[in-house]
Structure 1
Amino acid sequence: MKNPDRFSLINPKKIPFFYGYMVLVFGSIGVLASIPGQTVGVSVFTDPVKDALGLSRNQFSNAYMFGTLLSAFFVARAGVLFDRFGARYVAFFSAFCLGISLLLCSKSVFISNAIKELLVTHSWIVPFVVITLLFFAIRFFGQGVLTMSSRNMIMMWFDKNRGKINAISSITVSLGFSSAPIFINYLIDGYGWEKSWQILALCLFVFSVLVIQFYRNNPEDFGLQPDGGVTNTTTKKETKVEKHFTLKEAKQTRAFWMIGLTLAFNSFFVTGFTFHVISIFGSQDYTKSQAIAVFLPISVIAIITSTICNVLSDYINHKVYLYTMLIAGILASIGLLFLEYNFGVYLLIFGLGVFGGLFAVVNAVTWPRYFGRRHLGAITGKVMSFLVIASAIAPSLFSYCFTVLGSYSNISYLTGAFLLFLIIASAKVKNPQ
């Protein structure tokens, strides 16, 4: 890159400490900035926005599904752009565009009514199409591109200490995501859903300026090495030989598919469970407060698991994590199947907590460790499309099991069979390095 400091007042070479720690701080903030495009950030707006648009809950949910699915087809391409232009410009573009998308969301009723007048119609299809396209935008720029570019940038600046650094980032992100619904709900109660989206948009515009100032693509652009130090002849000899897989080469390995599908399963199960959590527990005569209360122990278990396993990830074979995730998925599925019993609730909480904690480790640390850093954007972009597709179809499949088959627990037979396939198919997984 000709000028990695272009448009910035910050020179990493003149910072009195390793600049990777600045990358850790602002990269973690970048993941948090994606919250308005994540399910946890969108769900709080569901009731007021659907009512304002005149859509039913099913219509609003389907718009979210179609918008999310549409974004999945473009996320992989964004990964290629990450490899070409770097985290700095890709993250700036995604943060700025996410802010614009939120402004448009705040005007969705006005846009919908204007189109209705132009077409001389009162059909629900107009607001449905409008909000679907807006969901596509916030899911693509938020959940997809901004999250991927921020997380990948952190991993590019560390190697031997990648797990420890990801532990710090994961704790910060987990706490932020856990408290986000409370903060957003406070904004909506105080300012209304339109103003709330505008406030979040303003925050993203400010953050996009910080991206240009503090984001940096990789340490080599400044004569540095991952984890710190200066590039020289001696260190080059001591550096281990690492193969940088292209996306095509990565897709030819069993590890890519098994890890990718396992992460996608987590996205599927967690999204479906979260989307219907009140109804799931309500079907077993639990109250709304009891249903929401399960997220606290799940978060605690996830943070503990993530912290311990991130630190250990610098020293142990990541295949252990893959199988632990699959076993945790089995426990969560059994817990959902027997939710009417206390042990079922405990298994569900424990399984989701462990799976979620390891997801934060594997999705960040394993990809550069297995496939190198040079084409990390293309590889993680492809995997992100798996996750987005899984999160899009989950709410509908969970709903189908309840409305047609009579119980949410029936989804456990599907998830159990899929996990059994992954356990068998993962037996021969090995580190491609």
Structure 2
Amino acid sequence: MSSKNIFGNALPARVPFYYGWVVLIFAAVAMVATLPGRSVGIGLITEPLIADLGISRLDFARMNFWATIFGALFNLVCGITIDRFGVRAVVTAVLFVLSAVVLGFSQVAGAGFLLLLLVLMRGVGQSALSVVSLTMVGKWFVRRLSVAMGIFAVLMSLGFAVAIVVAGDVVLKQGWRVMWSGLGWILMVLSGLCLLFVRRDPEAVGLDTEVVKGDESQEPVIGFTLVQALMTPAFYVFAVGSALYNLVIAGVMLFNQSILGELGFDETVFQYAMAVFMATGLLGNFTAGWAARRWSLGRLMTIAMLAVGVYLLAFPQLKTPGQALVHAGLLGFSGGVVSVIFFTAWADIFGRLHLGKIQGAAQVFAVLASATGPLFIESVFSSAGTYAPAFYALAPAVLLVAIFAYFVNIPRPEDAGIKRVCV
């Protein structure tokens, strides 16, 4: 068999199962590869980084804010690029660029260059790579989208758990620069693998969505335009709800040790809390993947937002390590539910026709919230001497979204009245 057949369009039709599952695996790995652009990844090196460069935690939070704000602009560009060139070309290019940025970041020596690299790392890693990763699954699955996104979320959570543990160990033993450089080379290899194995969508390789080649019952690709999606209340319920969770988690992950330290918990509790957070996140993934096939996404968002609201209100009341672990588990579980909703909602509600643009617009909300979270929480702590007012201020907004999510009308792709017939 020639290399053209192996790595060309013949490959998806030759495998004994639907090729979307191969794309799903690469999508999950690509999402894990956003680690250096996310707060949880940057949080692994925050303390040694700011010590190495001689900057304060608040100054770093300000840099992170502007880097994430400007990085959010990459979302819309990425969405348009996906719809024009396809997920294969975009995921390959984004991973290659991110690898170069991460390698450059590992050699940073000054605050000015640090801000530039943070902008690129947030924009290419957290923003663009997240959009293309989610769109890869949405382009290949329709009938079993909830199942596919549940599996995607589980793979992603497992990948993040392993990556965080391994990366943290390397930081402790060999330093943050060695770990960051290693990430850069891994990303470059992954870019090449995506070029070889990822495909644009089923139609581009002669397959119908979730149907093997040879089945002639092809269906038109239907869905909302970006403008139509922005006119629906459902878009804002899911975009704002997911964004509020991102705001909370970004601030907590970047300064979690300091947050727990305020309540008298040591580094051991912090480490156990991170482990519980990851484990309950998987539980949330499984629960939401199962429930999404039986309940509306609005009801699931209500449950997730109620859990986040309880988490925020309960923070100042934590007295024992056991309570701190349950508290972390509540945030992890809600995050697992929110991630499945975010991965599923856009294609399920608005269809695949303009999925890249809609996914990109939703990601803007998420990234802006991620930028605001750490700066808001650290600014409150700097002025008030405690994190409690920040938690109390966020709780009403989260609970309000929970109410709206319960009652929101959720459209279907066919409601848009726009379709593209695939031949």
Q: 2:129 is aligned with what amino acid?
A: L
TM-aligned CA distance change 1:244 to 1:196, over 3 Å: same
Between the aligned partners of 1:334 and 1:60, the Cα distance in structure 2 is 27
Which of 212, 217, 234 matches 1:229?
Answer: 212
Which of 260, 281, 288 matches 2:260?
Answer: 281
CA contact 1:60–1:128 (8 Å) conserved in 2 = no
Between the aligned partners of 2:254 and 2:166, the Cα distance in structure 1 is 19
Once the two structures are superposed, residues 271-310 of structure 1 have per-residue CA deviations (whole angstroms, 9 ceiling, x without a partner) of 1112222222211111121133222222222211211321
Which of 327, 331, 336 matches 1:352?
Answer: 331
Between the aligned partners of 1:181 and 1:246, the Cα distance in structure 2 is 37
Report deviation, 1:10.
6.4
| Matched position secondary structure for 1:294 | helix
Where structure 1 has 5 or more consecutive residues not aligned to the other structure, the ranges are 110-126
| Matched position secondary structure for 2:86 | helix
Matched, 1:158 2:141: yes
Report deviation, 1:412.
2.8
CA contact 1:331–1:347 (8 Å) conserved in 2 = no
Between the aligned partners of 1:28 and 1:398, the Cα distance in structure 2 is 30
CA contact 1:265–1:390 (8 Å) conserved in 2 = yes
Which of 301, 308, 315 matches 1:322?
Answer: 301
Q: 1:375 is aligned with what amino acid?
A: H
Aligned partner of 2:44 in structure 1 is 44
Matched, 1:311 2:294: no
Report deviation, 1:410.
1.2
Aligned partner of 1:410 in structure 2 is 389
| Matched position secondary structure for 1:181 | helix
Structure 1 outlier segments of 4+, above 4 Å: 4-10, 341-344
Once the two structures are superposed, residues 193-240 of structure 1 have per-residue CA deviations (whole angstroms, 9 ceiling, x without a partner) of 33332222111111111111111121111222222334755x24xx5x
Q: 1:392 is aligned with what amino acid?
A: A
Report deviation, 1:257.
0.5
How high is the TM-score relative to the length of structure 2?
0.89
Matched, 1:291 2:232: no
| Matched position secondary structure for 2:47 | helix
TM-aligned CA distance change 1:186 to 1:348, over 3 Å: closer
Aligned partner of 1:260 in structure 2 is 239
| Matched position secondary structure for 2:393 | helix
CA contact 1:102–1:200 (8 Å) conserved in 2 = yes
Aligned partner of 2:418 in structure 1 is none
TM-aligned CA distance change 1:220 to 1:328, over 3 Å: same
* Structure 1 range deviating more: 6-15 or 44-53: 6-15
Which of 144, 148, 152 matches 2:127?
Answer: 144
- After superposition, the CA RMSD in angstroms is 2.4
Aligned partner of 1:32 in structure 2 is 32
CA contact 1:271–1:391 (8 Å) conserved in 2 = yes
Q: 2:54 is aligned with what amino acid?
A: G
Which of 389, 395, 401 matches 1:422?
Answer: 401
Between the aligned partners of 2:81 and 2:269, the Cα distance in structure 1 is 44
Aligned partner of 1:208 in structure 2 is 191
Which of 149, 167, 170 matches 2:150?
Answer: 167
Between the aligned partners of 1:260 and 1:183, the Cα distance in structure 2 is 32
Size of the aligned set, in residue pairs, is 409
Aligned partner of 1:388 in structure 2 is 367
CA contact 1:334–1:348 (8 Å) conserved in 2 = no
| Matched position secondary structure for 1:229 | coil
How high is the TM-score relative to the length of structure 1?
0.87
